[in-house]
Chain A
Amino acid sequence: MAFNIYDLTSFTRSIDQALYDWLPPVWALIVEMTIIGLTFLLFYALVGLILVYAERKVCAFMQNRVGPNRVGPYGIFQTIADFVKLLMKELVYIRNSDKLLFNIAPFIVIIASFMAIAAIPFAKGLHAIDFDIGILYVIAVSSLGVVGVLLAGWSSNNKYSLIGAMRSGAQIVSYELSVGLSLLTVIVLAGTMQFSQIVEAQSGGWFIFKGHIPAFIAFVIFLIASTAETNRGPFDLAEAESELTAGFHTEYSGIKFAFFFLAEYMNMFIVASIGATVFLGGWMPFHVPGWEGFNHVMDFIPPLLWYGAKTVFVIFLMMWFKWTFPRLRIDQLLTLEWKYLLPINLVNILIMSFIVLMGWHF
């Protein structure tokens, strides 16, 4: 079993091979699925906890505060303590709520984000499934989350929740378009929808540099639209603390609330990963064509680190403007999408197609 930090393909292949040699094919498949499922479950919880901690620290630094610093060194166990607290809290059931929908709503939200992780390439040869329509799959799966949000708002039998859910329905459905179209701009440039090939195509330079201005515009639009899609500030109208108390999850308590909370952070992680993969080259190191020595040095940094650094960068960007901007109003939010982002996006795709057609990209 050859373990090479720079290329994990042979590592994952050898595990796969060993399993198939050892077990009948059906069992091998089941064991593989179990391993991947458990790994993701662990990964999910870990990333969620780290992100919650990171956000609390980042916002604390922006707000002249220290942030969590009591539980463990630099407060790193704070989120774990919070999680344990949420686990032990009583689940409050409200009368006159639709029990079934009320109970399954958090699961729908969390499953939608869980499914999207499967397609993300973490490093060379390290992804669960490498679909040939990877981007389409991610867009399709991530839009399932809105069903959970709508159900949560509807079944809570609370007017604030309903307003929040309706807002978020309108918001996510609209911004889904912009996310899709901005990714389409890159697909035009890459000529493929498969994540591994998109990353491979960026070995000569990341798409944000390769694609001239249209790629940069697409990246900005993707950042705005994906922030809106994950219901984060300044687009957190579905929760809108000062208007709707807590929006669609007002009536949820304990671990069910934690599910919504965790899903929000995981969605942020997923969109940041996709942004990093599609625009910033994923695990591909930073290369400048012609500078052999420089490229060589860059290749020494493991792909997993490149991927992590880029994702963290995008996540930081999203946190940055969450803690700086005031919230938009619902009609302004929809105006921004339908009157500005969508037309700009369509023109952008046209320009990109033209550039690709004429071969003007780097």
Chain B
Amino acid sequence: MKEVINLPVHSIEEEEYHINMGPQHPSTHGVLRLVVTLQGEIVKKLKPHCGYIHRGIEKMCEKDTYPQIIHLTDRMDYLSAHINNHGVCLLVENALQIEVPERVKYIRTIIDELTRIQSHQLWWASFGMDLGGLTCFFYGLRDREKILDIWEESFGSRLLHSYYTPGGLMQDIHPDFQKKVREFLKYFRKKIRDFDRILTGNVIFRERTCGIGYMSRETAINYGITGPSGRGSGWSCDVRKHHPYALYDKVEFREVLRDEGDTYGRYMVRMEEMRESMHIIEQLIDNIPAGDCSAKMKAVLRLPAGEYFQRVETARGELGIYCISDGNKTPLRMKFRTPSFINLGVLDHISREMKIADLVAIGGSLDLVIPDIDR
């Protein structure tokens, strides 16, 4: 005789189930795995699993010299490659108390801002795609291509440049650099209006973003959310303003702050930041001073024993680089505080009780770069 099993009876609404978003999923933009607990379509809990692209960059730094470390930082947040390089360069320069030539500062600032623009362009492209507007993707990439072309001409690479070296630059910029950048600014001032027309003003887009994934200012501070994601909640956290490096204390620019705290707020911060970046470049591009493109450096760099910390504002937030040196040519310990890793932490908090479609929008608005999470 069969045994009768008494199964507990749940009503259908009560039952929760899990889905694995990723590691291969179109909207995680890489190998991030989110284990999402759902009730119907509503997200109840979310657990990110990272480590699928962990390369041990921090450990690798311990056996590399400082100029070599720069090449590893490219591979963290590949969309802010220049700014990551800048962080390491500043760390070494400050530790050795080297004053870099004025020309280098100008070029670095311009290229950092170009990096920010192209990163936000790609973010805009993929954010539009996350929301289902595939055309945005091509518009964003079309305009990003212009910046990559300028870069290719000057440094010979398009994604991972390692153009900055401690003390200066790898080589001088291409003679056409200034002309091309001016052309780009003129071009993109016109094209950014297209961006607004296709997404910002769209009713469906507003419906999908306004009030979705609300993050209060307190939450942003508690979770340490920096960059455009934090500024979308009204938290003034721009490293360029608070701890200026390169020429950021000389140029005039506005720190974009929005009070909405939702997906739309974070979206608008990035759109405004692209305009601000163009404004910064416009102030600098016409008066790059002549001079050397590098300071005199020793062949082997040895940092004096001690602890060093340097922060820079990447396109995703604050990148903190912490280094302990024992006086050798390689650091004893390197630690990167990468913005994407910290920003991922808040995803669970702000996407609870939202729909799956909202989770995709929120994830897009945090602008996560997966190699930056895993390092």
Evaluate contact between A331 and B355: CB separation under 8 angstroms: yes
The answer, among A62, A64, A243, A245, for a CB contact under 8 Å with B357, is A243
Contacts of B205 in A (CB 8 A): 326
A234 to B131 Cα, complex, angstroms: 10
Cβ distance B123 to chain A, nearest Cβ, rounded Å: 14
Asked whether A330 is an interface residue with its Cβ less than 8 Å from the other chain, the reply is yes
Q: Are A241 and B199 in contact, with the CB atoms below 8 A? A: no
Q: Does A47 contact B (CB under 8 A)?
A: no
A85: interface (CB < 8 Å): no
Dominant SS at the B interface? helix
B123-145 vs A, Cβ < 8 Å mask (1 yes, 0 no): 00000111111111111001000
Question: Contact at B131–A327, with CB atoms within 8 Å?
Answer: yes
Tell yes or no: B77 within 8 A of A by CB: no
Q: Does B5 contact A (CB under 8 A)?
A: no
CB pair B26–A325 under 8 Å, yes or no, is no
Q: Which residues of B contact A332 (CB under 8 A)?
A: 204, 207-208
- Chain B residues near A325: list those with CB within 8 A: 132-133, 202, 204
User: Within residues 105 to 163 of chain B, which ones have a CB less than 8 A from any CB in chain A?
Assistant: 128-139, 142
CB distance from B10 to the nearest CB of A (A): 17
Per the bound structure, the CA–CA distance linking A64 and B136 in Å amounts to 11
What residues of A have a CB within 8 angstroms of the CB of B98 in the complex?
A: none
**Complex: A354 Cα to B199 Cα, angstroms:** 40
Inter-chain CA distance A245–B27, complex, in Å, is 9
Partner of B204, one of A234, A241, A331: A234
Give Cα A324–Cα B134 distance, bound, in whole angstroms: 8
B142 and A64: CB pair below 8 A? yes
CB distance from A223 to the nearest CB of B (A): 16
Chain A residue with the shortest CB-CB distance to B206: A326
Asked if B96 is at the interface (CB within 8 A of a chain A CB), the reply is no
Closest to A244 in B: B356
A323 to B129, CA, bound (A): 11
What's the dominant secondary structure at chain A's contact region? loop
State whether the Cβ of B19 lies closer than 8 Å to any Cβ in chain A. Answer: yes
Give the CA-CA distance A34 to B355 in the complex, in Å.
Answer: 49
Most chain A Cβ neighbours within 10 Å, of B25, B131, B134, B139: B134
Across the interface, do A65 and B138 meet the contact criterion of CB distance under 8 Å? yes
Task: Report how many residues on chain B are interfacial, defined by Cβ distance under 8 Å.
Answer: 31
C-alpha spacing A59/B357, complex, angstroms: 24
Pairwise interchain contact A328-B207, C-beta atoms closer than 8 A: yes
CA distance A220 to B281 in the complex (A): 47
Specify the chain B residue showing the minimal Cβ separation from A332: B207
What's the interface size class on A, roughly? Answer: 20 to 34
Residues of A contacting B131 in the complex (Cβ-Cβ under 8 angstroms)? 242, 326-327
Partner of A323, one of B26, B41, B134: B134
- In the bound complex, residues from chain A placing their C-beta under 8 Å from that of B128 are 326
Q: Is residue B198 contacting chain A, with contact meaning CB distance below 8 A?
A: yes
Check A63 against B138 for contact (C-beta < 8 Å). yes
Q: How far is the CA of A233 from the CA of B135 in the complex (A)?
A: 12
Once the chains bind, are A245 and B355 in contact (CB under 8 Å)? no
Q: Would B138 and A329 count as touching, CB distance under 8 A? A: no
B17 within 8 A of A: yes
Question: Is the beta-carbon distance between B133 and A329 smaller than 8 angstroms?
Answer: no
A240 interface residue (CB < 8 Å to B): yes
Contact between chains at A243 and B135 (CB < 8 Å): no
What is the bound-complex CA distance between A62 and B135, given in angstroms?
A: 7
With A323-B135, A325-B202 as contacts: A330 and B129 at CB distance below 8 Å: no
Nearest chain B CB to A247's CB is how many angstroms away? Answer: 12
Chain B, Cβ-Cβ closest to A233: B132
Q: In A151-183, which residues have CB < 8 Å from any B CB?
A: 159-160, 163, 167
Pair B19/A160 contact, Cβ less than 8 Å = yes
B26 touches A324 (CB 8 A): no
Once the chains are docked, how many angstroms separate the CA of A163 from the CA of B26?
16
Most buried by B among A167, A237, A241: A241
| A229 CB–B CB distance under 8 Å | no
What is the CA–CA distance of A241 and B356 in the complex, to the nearest angstrom? Answer: 12
Q: How many Å lie between the Cα of A128 and that of B204 in the bound state?
A: 40
Judged by a CB distance under 8 angstroms, whether B360 is at the interface is yes
What's the Cα separation between A245 and B25 when bound, in Å?
7
Q: Is A337 an interface residue (CB 8 A)?
A: no
CB within 8 Å for A329 and B355 given contacts A64-B142, A242-B130: yes
How far does the alpha carbon of A245 sit from the alpha carbon of B202 in the complex, in Å? 24
| A251 at interface, CB cutoff 8 A | no
A4 to chain B, nearest CB (A): 45
Residues of B within 8 A of A330 (CB): 41, 355, 357
Task: Give the residues in chain B near A65, CB-CB below 8 Å.
Answer: 138
| Contact (Cβ within 8 A) B135 A329 | no
Asked if B273 is at the interface (CB within 8 A of a chain A CB), the reply is: no
A65 to B139, CA, bound (A): 10
- CB <8 Å contact, B138 and A326: no
Which A residues touch B129, using CB under 8 A? Answer: 242
Q: Is the CB of B41 within 8 A of A328?
A: no
Q: Please tell me if the beta carbons of A236 and B135 are within 8 angstroms of each other in the complex.
A: no
Chain B residues within an 8 Å CB radius of A328: 204, 207-208
- How far, in whole Å, are A327 and B357 apart by their CA atoms in the complex? 9
The CA of A327 and the CA of B133, in the complex, are separated in Å by 7
Distance between B84 CB and nearest chain A CB, rounded to angstroms = 28
Q: Tell me the residues in window 338-364 of chain B with beta carbons closer than 8 Å to chain A beta carbons.
A: 355-358, 360
**Which of B17, B142, B202 is in CB contact (< 8 Å) with A326?**
B202
Residues of A within 8 A of B199 (CB): 326
Query: Which residues on B sit within 8 Å (CB–CB) of A160?
Result: 19
Q: Contact: A242 with B19, CB < 8 Å?
A: no
A324 partner residues in chain B, CB cutoff 8 A? 133, 135, 198
Rounded to whole angstroms, the CA-CA distance of A326 and B206 in the bound complex is 10
Residues of chain A from 273 to 329 with CB closer than 8 A to chain B in the complex: 323-329
Q: Which residues of A contact B355 (CB under 8 A)?
A: 329-331
CA distance A167 to B356 in the complex (A): 12
Say whether B132 contacts A236, CB under 8 Å: yes
CB of B122, distance to nearest CB on chain A (Å)? 16
Q: Considering the chains assembled together, what is the distance between the CA atoms of A299 and B19 in angstroms? A: 60
Residues from chain B with a CB closer than 8 A to the CB of A163 are: 41, 356
C-alpha spacing A245/B26, complex, angstroms: 6
Query: A residues within 8 A CB of B136?
Result: 326
Q: A242 near B26 (CB under 8 angstroms)?
A: yes
Q: 4 more A-B contacts (CB under 8 A) besides A59-B135, A241-B132?
A: A242-B26, A243-B27, A324-B133, A327-B133
10 contacts between A and B (CB under 8 A): A63-B139, A242-B131, A323-B135, A324-B198, A325-B202, A326-B132, A326-B205, A327-B131, A328-B207, A332-B204
What are the nearest 9 A-B pairs in CB distance?
A327-B132, A63-B138, A326-B131, A326-B133, A242-B27, A329-B357, A326-B132, A242-B130, A159-B19
